[in-house]
Structure 1
Amino acid sequence: MTDLGLPEGIQACLFDLDGVVTKTAVVHAAAWKEMFDAFLRERDGPGYRPFDAVGEYAEYVDGRPRADGVRTFLAARGITLPDGGPDDPPAADTVHGLGNRKNALLLDRIRTGGVQAYDGTLRYIDAVRAAGMRTAVVSASANCRDVLRAVHAEDLFDVRIDGIVAAERGLPGKPRPDTFLAAARDLGVEAKRAAVFEDALAGMDAGRSGGFGYVVGLDRTGQTEALYAHGADIVVRDLAELGGTA
């Protein structure tokens, strides 16, 4: 698979959604910042320390299931909230309430600004499929299917493991490898025969700990060194750099 930039023996490609297939990672980061800043401002007053939509987003939130992102960030700030439940209203000061508040902000931003895909990724997926490999999308987002439909990319994937499927199957999210392993199983391939494509540090951790054959990091925000440190075999700025997209 040298023309696709992959080692010999790779039979399937597992793609994260936000920041890999679609240009939604920056929208997610903005929604997280809006939600956390409002929460922190109300909690701590005018002297609150704002949420860092680059560093803290990458370290605590990006790639994780929504509630895990809330918990991890709040723990880093020494804040404890009750978990509540998945159906908590966005106004609730619970882990799930804050997560649902963020999701409402995200959906509003998507409705207002729309969704775009990375052309280099779409061309690469076409080339992968033309080469006979199977594909899956693996995302923590419960909005995965709607986002794929918005960019007309749903048919590019044989398997979808998203936040809804993970909840139904009881799969822990990234940085655990379970969602990627489930995608490989559904495709009928061993992890060592599958490549993972991720832009999140938590996704790098999942790819490495899952024993996957190749882990590709997408650097959209200038975190090449961190992606390598978390397990990437190679880091590129666009999948067109791997080849197969001419």
Structure 2
Amino acid sequence: MPFDHASRFASIKAVLFDLDGVLTPTVDIHVQAWSRLFTPYLAERRVEPGYSDDDYFAYIDGRPRVDGVRALLASRGITVPEGSPGDAPGDNTVWGLGLRKNDEFFATLESDGVVAYPGSVDFLDATIHSGRLVAVVSSSRNAVSVLAAAGLDDRFEVVVDGLVATEAGMPGKPAPDTFVYAAELLGLSPAECAVIEDAHSGVQAAREGDFGLVVGVDRGVGAEGLLESGADVVVSDLDELVTALDAPVAVT
């Protein structure tokens, strides 16, 4: 039976959006920044295999930055000190390497800018027009800056990003805590919210949190994998779901 988008959205009172890869194509910027960090890092240490974009999707995509550093290093059997947020970018610590990646990310963002996916903006605006609430839940510590650069910051009163998670002591995706916290800030239960994600870790987090609807956006990860991770439905672009918002929200 085909997935009935309209009926599944009828009971949804809020939509929680991931940022990178869902609203904005900043995944491309992140991929470049991670490559600029780890390609020379592994080459200088003569570690094989060298860094590739496959590593991004296997170990980094959707995770908080320092978790991505830890996972990539662990995949190569590399151990470095944990360090602290006060480390200098490029220090051979987990935090130092993460901060160096952040510098690379901002350099690209400032030089190239970012334009939101048109289909995602159409779906976002349709969601707001339908009377549903919206929030951004991102592992990135740069979510507010990216939203501003994309001209979307005026749409969201609730943004739960890596900075918020750290301050609140919450684990990042694939743990469900940040999504659950965003729902609480909106005054809703997870069952009343839909989650829109493009990464396995984000889909897994939403499924673990028992959210009412989990939508995967296939930006290259693969629809089958997103479904296996727990997505209820996978689309290639969010404009496919705009008409599902036409029906009024069910009153319970």
**TM-score after normalising by structure 2:** 0.92
The corresponding residue for 1:109 is: 108
The corresponding residue for 1:52 is: 52
User: Which residue identity lines up with residue 163 of structure 2 in the other structure?
Assistant: I
The corresponding residue for 1:69 is: 68
The corresponding residue for 2:217 is: 218
The corresponding residue for 1:155 is: 154
Displacement of 1:204 in angstroms is 0.8
What's the secondary structure of 1:140's corresponding residue?
A: coil
Listed as ranges, the matches of 1:77-156 within 5 Å are 77-156=76-155
List 4+ stretches of structure 1 deviating above 3 A. 2-7
Conserved in 1, the CA contact under 8 Å of 2:199 and 2:221? Answer: no
Which of 30, 55, 64 is equivalent to 2:32? 30
1:192-244: CA deviation from partner (whole Å, max 9, x where unpaired): 11000011111011011011011111111151111111111111110001123
Conserved in 1, the CA contact under 8 Å of 2:200 and 2:229? Answer: yes
Structure 1: 5+ residue runs without aligned partners?
none
Structure 2: 5+ residue runs without aligned partners?
247-252
The corresponding residue for 2:186 is: 187
What's the secondary structure of 1:243's corresponding residue?
A: helix
The corresponding residue for 1:8 is: 10
Change (3 A) 1:5 1:61: farther
Conserved in 2, the CA contact under 8 Å of 1:5 and 1:243? Answer: no
What's the secondary structure of 2:89's corresponding residue?
A: coil
The corresponding residue for 1:18 is: 20
1:159-192: CA deviation from partner (whole Å, max 9, x where unpaired): 1101111111111100101100000000011001
- State, as a whole percentage, how many aligned pairs show the same letter: 47
User: Which residue identity lines up with residue 35 of structure 1 in the other structure?
Assistant: L
Equivalent-residue separation in structure 2 for 1:222 and 1:180 (angstroms): 21
Number of equivalent positions? 242
**TM-score after normalising by structure 1:** 0.94
- What's the RMSD between the two structures over aligned residues? 1.7
Change (3 A) 1:211 1:130: same
